[in-house]
Homo-oligomer: A and B are copies of this chain.
């Protein structure tokens, strides 16, 4: 990561962290374990990519990022609640190097009450559902308070409505489709379905971030406005390029650098575009072989290497790499519509960083 970007992200993390840790919203939540759970992910830090996108889009269009700080904190909390519920659904144990919310609460139950292990787990899950529920409200409340930073009330109302009737619906529908697709017979899954998951789970909130930052700068929520439209195209392309690359690296990456086990999408029978592309052109025998490599208990070197060969021979790898390049170029190109300034440069650096992991 280049030094300017690193410095700028540190600044965003510190600003957003300050707002969230000083915010009174969680303080009246009881019991205490629920209050702690609501604060947990938002305080945990991470790169704060979404707040950065929001603040820098605001700056790029000539707005004062300080006016958008509550909105930046809001998208971080919004992201948090979807992660809390996602982690319950995926039964994940770790998030950013620490226990997931339902695991934290399960551990709390172990220490605080005299329950059996099944009851401790249920306590953790139940409380984590509620923690996410409150975080969704916290995000809306933070966003509403953008009005206190000088943002016109009508604009704030439109931004709240977009958060609840565009982001919520698309994001949760994407999440639901992500659960549902692996259960279908693969012949009933289309590439369009897979793209909808990416748009919902990844692109939609990124798009909301940059367009909200831009809207605060321009004091309009008219998304047909050329700069806001360009920001939307940028985020759509960035989100898809990022996800396609992530899918690719999930099979072809280096185990050491990728951060999760290889072929986990195969293991969970999740159809990726890479998989769909391969199925389209493989011979019936090849299709059968690839299908048979889903949901295996283990993915050793031999299996991974066989999957790689099938994906490459089908031509799917070349096609996906071309798609990644196309979306990446589209993202970068969309940024050119914005005025050239330091914030546009930061958006460009961030995009390069997110898309740079070697393919």
Interface string of A152-172 (1 = CB under 8 A from B): 011011001101110011001
Q: Which residues of A contact B (CB under 8 A)?
A: 25, 28-31, 33-34, 81, 85, 88-89, 109, 112-113, 115, 123, 126-127, 129-130, 132-134, 136-138, 140-141, 144, 147, 153-154, 156-157, 160-161, 163-165, 168-169, 172-173, 175-177, 179-180, 183-184, 196
Tell which of B127, B132, B164 touches A176, judged by Cβ atoms closer than 8 Å. B127
In the assembled complex, the CB of A62 is this many whole angstroms from the nearest CB of chain B, namely: 26
Q: In the assembled complex, which residues on chain B have CB atoms less than 8 Å from the CB atom of A127?
A: 176, 179
Inter-subunit contact A133/B130 (CB<8 Å) = no
Inter-subunit contact B113/A140 (CB<8 Å) = no
Inter-subunit contact B141/A147 (CB<8 Å) = no
Residue of B nearest to A173 (CB): B30
Given contacts A30-B196, A89-B126, contact A137 B113 (CB under 8 A): no
- A115 vs B172: C-alpha distance when bound (angstroms): 23
In the assembled complex, the CB of A354 is this many whole angstroms from the nearest CB of chain B, namely: 26
Tell which of B31, B176, B177, B179 touches A180, judged by Cβ atoms closer than 8 Å. B31
Inter-subunit contact B130/A144 (CB<8 Å) = no
Inter-subunit contact B134/A168 (CB<8 Å) = yes
Given contacts A89-B126, A168-B134, contact A160 B140 (CB under 8 A): yes
Q: In the assembled complex, which residues on chain B have CB atoms less than 8 Å from the CB atom of A163?
A: 137
Q: In the assembled complex, which residues on chain B have CB atoms less than 8 Å from the CB atom of A126?
A: 88-89, 179
Q: In the assembled complex, which residues on chain B have CB atoms less than 8 Å from the CB atom of A172?
A: 29, 34, 130, 133-134
Q: In the assembled complex, which residues on chain B have CB atoms less than 8 Å from the CB atom of A176?
A: 30-31, 34, 127, 130
Inter-subunit contact B88/A129 (CB<8 Å) = yes
Given contacts A130-B172, A153-B154, A160-B144, contact A165 B137 (CB under 8 A): yes
Inter-subunit contact B129/A169 (CB<8 Å) = no
Inter-subunit contact B88/A169 (CB<8 Å) = no
Q: In the assembled complex, which residues on chain B have CB atoms less than 8 Å from the CB atom of A196?
A: 30
Residue of B nearest to A156 (CB): B157
Q: In the assembled complex, which residues on chain B have CB atoms less than 8 Å from the CB atom of A157?
A: 144, 147, 153, 156-157
Q: In the assembled complex, which residues on chain B have CB atoms less than 8 Å from the CB atom of A141?
A: 161, 164-165
Inter-subunit contact B175/A130 (CB<8 Å) = yes
Given contacts A130-B172, A130-B176, A140-B160, contact A113 B183 (CB under 8 A): yes
Q: A34-B176, A123-B179, A147-B157 are in contact. List 16 more A-B contacts (CB 8 A).
A: A25-B169, A29-B169, A29-B173, A31-B176, A34-B173, A81-B133, A109-B183, A113-B184, A123-B183, A127-B179, A133-B168, A134-B172, A140-B140, A141-B164, A144-B160, A144-B164
Q: In the assembled complex, which residues on chain B have CB atoms less than 8 Å from the CB atom of A164?
A: 137-138, 140-141, 144
In the assembled complex, the CB of A20 is this many whole angstroms from the nearest CB of chain B, namely: 15
Residue of B nearest to A139 (CB): B164
